[in-house]
């Protein structure tokens, strides 16, 4: 098997594990905290950012591991952490304009896209 096929299989399996972990942890935190605020989602997003940041700084030489971790387990756990990782890399590499574009573009354009979908969905 080629490396890309092996990585794809690992990402597939990892994403499944991450998705199940997201469901369990988010549900548990949401149940404990009660309704009114999405504490479960916030917890999962922050935990995913922390885990990805930890491994990115402690294992920068193992690109395959980091790729599988970010695209697989943590990627399935939360894509927010991947957004933070990629955006932080732009800042750390001195690409300030791209950093700002990705940070604010993802947030604001993401909201615009979401509400655009809501508006379009209202017609169906």
Residues placed in the known binding site for Na(+)? 75, 78
DSSP code at position 63: H
**Tokens in use for 44?**
């999962």
What's the rounded Cα separation, in Å, for the pair 119 and 123?
7
- Binding-site residues, please? 75, 78
Task: Determine phi and psi for 24, rounding to 5 degrees.
Answer: -70, -50
Phi, psi of 49 (to 5 degrees): -60, -45
Name the one residue in this structure whose structure tokens are 């994403």.
Answer: 15
Q: What tokens does 17 get?
A: 């594990």
């Amino acid at each position: 098997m080629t490396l890309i096929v092996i990585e794809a299989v690992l990402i597939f399996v990892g994403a499944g594990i991450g998705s199940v972990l997201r469901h369990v942890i988010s549900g548990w935190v949401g149940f404990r905290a009660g309704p009114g605020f999405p504490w479960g989602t916030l917890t999962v997003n922050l935990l995913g950012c922390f885990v990805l940041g930890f491994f990115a700084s402690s294992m920068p030489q193992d690109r395959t591991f980091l790729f599988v971790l970010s695209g697989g387990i943590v990627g399935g756990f939360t894509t927010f952490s991947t957004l933070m990782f990629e955006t932080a890399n732009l800042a750390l590499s001195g690409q300030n304009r791209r950093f700002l574009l990705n940070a604010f573009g993802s947030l604001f354009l993401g909201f615009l896209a979401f509400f655009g979908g809501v508006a379009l969905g209202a017609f169906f």
